[in-house]
Structure 1
């Protein structure tokens, strides 16, 4: 891991928040915990059920925080990615999220 002082952004999807070049790869929960322990975190999670699942998964109190966020060069983000795309307008419950399944992605803005 790079010695980056910027907080790790937490997203509820893999989104490019601004123009740039990004690296995206799979990450497990234990590695995600190390990133946020080392750098702190900033929630940009826009859905309550996702914030609940992420809180349990990462062992942190992660609040829903619908903010406009721009990832900086060198900044890491951990993205929560559902295994399927829900229907338009669906707001999933925690149970539905757990049934569908998900993965975590590590996103780094390279330039």
Structure 2
């Protein structure tokens, strides 16, 4: 019997399709996201310090800013920090500006 590989949950600061595939994206609440992180661990691909700070506070764990090239595996989950509105081109938002714009969390799974 083939054992399923367990992947850490990827954390993104935007809905990023990292490689070709079929993805499922849906809304997720903070408690459900925390549960996935607790059960699977995580890898930060958060490229902005203010987003890392907010996610650290939301999930009650240290989430570092980590500008890496990341490829989501088939079956791997990602939690996406999604702004409610698109900021101006080239803008690097601080925490207050992010809070003013607002955000939601998404669960993104690579299906194939």
- Superposition TM-score tier, normalisation by shorter sequence: over 0.9
Distance 2:77 2:5 in 1: 8
> Of the two, which has the highest radius of gyration?
2
Distance 1:98 1:85 in 2: 13
Alignment of 1:35-46 (within 5 A): 35-46=36-47
Distance 1:22 1:58 in 2: 24
Alignment of 1:1-111 (within 5 A): 5-111=6-112
- Residues 107 and 4 (structure 1 numbering): CA distance in 2 closer, same or farther, change over 3 Å? farther
TM, length-normalised to structure 1 = 0.96
Task: For residue 5 of structure 1, report the CA deviation from its aligned partner.
Answer: 1.4
- Residues 109 and 78 (structure 1 numbering): CA distance in 2 closer, same or farther, change over 3 Å? same
Kindly indicate whether the alpha-carbon contact (under 8 Å) linking 1:8 and 1:39 is maintained by their aligned counterparts in 2. Answer: yes
* Residues paired across the two proteins, number: 109
Structure 1, gaps ≥5 residues long: none
C-alpha RMSD of the superposition = 1.0
After the TM superposition, list the runs of 4 or more consecutive aligned residues in structure 1 that deviate by more than 4 angstroms.
Answer: none
Distance 2:40 2:5 in 1: 7
Structure 2, gaps ≥5 residues long: none
Task: For residue 21 of structure 1, report the CA deviation from its aligned partner.
Answer: 0.1
